[in-house]
């Protein structure tokens, strides 16, 4: 299998006889070069533009500040100079990543640049993979909503905030009515389309402070921060009505049942709250489809 071509390097070179001598070799390897007149200008360039590498000459001042700036921006610093100039570098040499002896042998420089490119590209691919794994670990791949594990972590944080500062919150469970029948009649691909459409409705109607996740199969979980049961019921009713107007084939009449539970000190834990929400959802289903039901505790709170 052929290797993918290496992405060119964008290199900042500080003007000087030794450093400038490497520019032609750098460019011959299909890399791009920007030149700074002195060390201070190079530091300013680093704050304005993204570089892969900085090459500066030895013997033209203290490279320590440039090394600190380069490392702050995640850019390696190479120093080029004669054997004597490199030996005369002071404590600032500790901040240098590579030393190039002048005169530079082009084939050696090209090899070192190639190895650096490979390391850089490998690190980028590794970072992309780690980000993808991290995203997949907290996201439902079908709806692109947070998954249940991610939502339960946020529920735990919301519960702790409620216990410390008495800031109320509500949990809403939603179950799509007759979803299994639609899935069986029209196929899983059509069922997936419905789930994605519902997820998009929920994302568009919630506040930035609220969280919606795919809870289980055709069920969704909504965490409403700083909200009492009356506000959560208004939201659930609005969502329920929106779902009945989704653009679906005429023979599909999508409805959903909702249950609501508000935080209360009678609950022992977030899991206890969820159990109450699940029981209220089961109760909603017994009344028929397209219902919004508050848990017994939440109804009691509303009447206080």
| DSSP per-residue string spanning 198-266 | HHHHHHHHS-TT-EEEEEETTEEEEEEET--HHHHHHHHHHHHHHHHT----TT----EEEEEEE--TT
CA distances from 131 to 124, 139, 150, 154 (A): 11, 12, 15, 20
Give 264-269 contacts, CB < 8 A, sequence gap 24+: 264/297, 264/298, 264/301, 266/297, 267/297, 269/159
pLDDT of residue 233: 94
Q: How confident is the model at residue 299 (pLDDT cuts 50, 70, 90)?
A: very low
> Within 10 A of 292 (CB to CB), how many other CB atoms are there?
22
Position 2 scores a pLDDT of: 45
Token pair for 213: 């996740």
Mind listing the domains of the chain with CATH numbers?
10-136 (3.40.50.2300), 148-303 (3.30.70.270)
Tell me the C-alpha distance between 140 and 151, whole Å: 11
pLDDT at 5: 59
Q: Give the range among 147-156, 252-261, 291-300 with minimum mean pLDDT.
A: 291-300
Task: Identify the pLDDT of residue 182.
Answer: 83
Dump pLDDT digits (tens) for 153-184.
899 999 998 998 899 999 999 999 988 888 88
Beta bridge partners of 262: 170
Read off the pLDDT band of 250 (50, 70, 90): low
3-class DSSP state of 169: strand
Q: How far is CA 184 from CA 171, 187, 189, in A?
A: 30, 6, 10
Q: List, in order, residues 6 or more apart from 125 with CB less than 8 Å away.
A: none
| Least confident span in 21-25, 55-59, 223-227, 270-274 | 21-25
For residue 156, what pLDDT is reported? 92
For residue 56, count CB atoms less than 10 angstroms from its CB and return exposed for 0-12, middle for 13-18, buried for 19 or more: buried
DSSP label of 79? E
Distances (CA, A) of 290 to 178, 189, 235, 241, 285: 10, 24, 14, 9, 8
Report the pLDDT value the prediction gives residue 296, as an integer from 0 to 100.
60
- Rounded Cα distance, 149 and 156, in Å: 11
pLDDT of residue 300: 44
pLDDT over 80 at 122, yes or no: no
């Amino acid at each position: 299998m052929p290797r993918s071509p290496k992405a060119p390097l964008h290199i900042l070179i500080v003007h000087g006889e030794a450093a400038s001598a490497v520019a032609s070799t750098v460019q011959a390897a299909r890399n791009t070069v920007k030149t700074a007149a002195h060390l201070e200008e190079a530091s300013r360039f680093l704050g304005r533009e993204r570089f892969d590498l900085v090459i500066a000459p030895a013997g033209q001042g203290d490279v320590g500040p440039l090394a600190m700036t380069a490392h702050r921006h995640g850019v390696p610093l190479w120093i080029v100079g004669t054997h004597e100039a490199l030996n005369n570098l002071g404590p600032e040499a500790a901040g240098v990543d590579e030393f190039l002896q002048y005169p530079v042998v082009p084939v050696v420089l090209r090899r070192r640049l190639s190895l650096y490119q490979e390391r850089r590209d490998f690190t980028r691919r590794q970072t992309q993979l780690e980000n993808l794994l991290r995203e997949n670990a907290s996201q439902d791949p079908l709806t692109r909503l947070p998954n249940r594990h991610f939502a339960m972590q946020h529920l735990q944080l919301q519960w702790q905030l409620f216990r410390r500062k008495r800031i109320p919150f509500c949990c809403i469970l939603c179950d799509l009515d007759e979803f299994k029948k639609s899935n069986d009649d029209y196929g899983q691909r059509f069922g997936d389309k419905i789930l994605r459409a519902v997820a998009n409705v929920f994302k568009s109607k919630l506040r930035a402070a609220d969280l919606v996740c795919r809870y289980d199969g055709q069920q969704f979980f909504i965490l409403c921060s700083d909200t009492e049961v009356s506000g959560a019921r208004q939201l659930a009713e609005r969502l329920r009505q929106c779902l009945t107007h989704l653009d679906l084939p005429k023979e599909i009449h999508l409805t959903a049942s909702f249950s609501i539970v508000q935080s209360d000190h009678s609950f022992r834990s977030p899991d206890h709250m969820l159990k109450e929400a699940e029981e209220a959802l089961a109760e909603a289903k017994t009344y028929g489809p397209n219902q919004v039901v508050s848990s017994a505790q939440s109804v009691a709170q509303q009447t206080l």
